Amino acid sequence: MLKTAELSTFDEVNLFFDTAADRLGLTNGLREMLKRPWRELQVQVPVRMDDGQIQVFAGFRVQHNGARGPYKGGLRYHPDADLEEVRALASLMTWKNALVDLPYGGAKGGVQVDPGQLSNGELNRLTRRYTQNIIHLIAPNRDIPAPDMGTNAQTMAWMMDAYGAVHGHSPAIVTGKPVEMGGSLGRESATGRGVAYLLQEAAKDIDLEIQGARIVVQGFGNVGSWAARLMYDAGCRIIAASSVDGGVYNAGGLDIPRLQDFEKLSGGVTGFTGGESISNRELLELDCDVLVPAAIDNVITEDNASYIKARLILEAANHPITPEADRI
């Protein structure tokens, strides 16, 4: 997780909150109530690895605010996950759910692990143990996890099964589970589809013609790849895309269906033959109409904000722009 030297990610999110609170004229007491998480849990997650050794991972679940309804928020597996990051993401879920008038509060979970280094069996055992350790916090009408970075429908199936072993069959305990287990059709593409819809609306405000618009997508995971595909289908020209190891650039436009197939096989976009290699730093500074940061937080900072050439930035990731960069 990238941070500024002075502020944690949670502090940065609260700077944005304070700006809104100033406009609303909120009292200091109400501000403190809305900022502070209602409940935080930090657990150890011991897992027997395939070699027989026990490895212990740090796990977290933060329930930020439940005034609007049950807590709702994803579970991420990432080597840089920590309590500060999970706090920030939980608070963002509160504001996102409130913004679109959903009857949910905000929560988030995380495990400090690189899922790419674990076997399928190890991930299964990790998920079940994490679920057991937070099981007293979650319930279909209390706190409902979902997939996030490093987790997917299979992860949710394991969580649902582990919860059901204690409380009986409870498909409503998670969202984002496989359709065969009661999941929702369209869930996989939903976030990326929302980004594509936002482009259509935002383009009207800046008189941007969608057909042929030059799009740059940083992050080609679930959100970024679906956003890119739907924009591609709408006639946009996706000139660059990246994954954690680097990106690929083609001024004439990338073949997104081919790139999606390549990413599924290789786990990234580097090495794709339909364009030239480019770094994530170079990608952010490309001349384009729309930049879509869809990877990690704090990628646009005061150091690189003045080099961003995009007319429009669509924030598909959580908190991709620092407060300092936002003022630029």
Q: What angle do CA 155, 45, 163 make, to 5 degrees?
A: 45
Amino acid at 185: L
Structure tokens at 325: 């960069």
Question: Catalytic annotation on 108?
Answer: yes
Cα of first residue to Cα of last residue in the chain, in angstroms, is 22
Exposed (0-12), middle (13-18) or buried (19+): which is 184, by Cβ within 10 Å? Answer: exposed
Beta-bridge mates of residue 44: 58
**CA 168 to each of CA 98, 125, 132, 146, 156: distance values in angstroms, whole numbers, following the listed order:** 31, 19, 14, 19, 16
Q: What angle do CA 145, 291, 327 make, to 5 degrees?
A: 90
**CA 292 to each of CA 190, 300, 311: distance values in angstroms, whole numbers, following the listed order:** 16, 11, 11
Q: Hey, what's the torsion of the CAs at 189, 104, 297, 77, to 10 degrees?
A: -70
Round to whole Å and give the CA distance between 101 and 8: 28
Torsions phi, psi of 257, nearest 5?
-55, -40
Q: Which residues contact 259 (CB under 8 A, 6 or more apart)?
A: 220, 225, 228, 241, 248, 269, 272, 274
Active-site residue, selected from the candidate residues 108, 177, 204, 264: 108
Place of tokens 């963002």: 92
Query: Catalytic site residues?
Result: 108
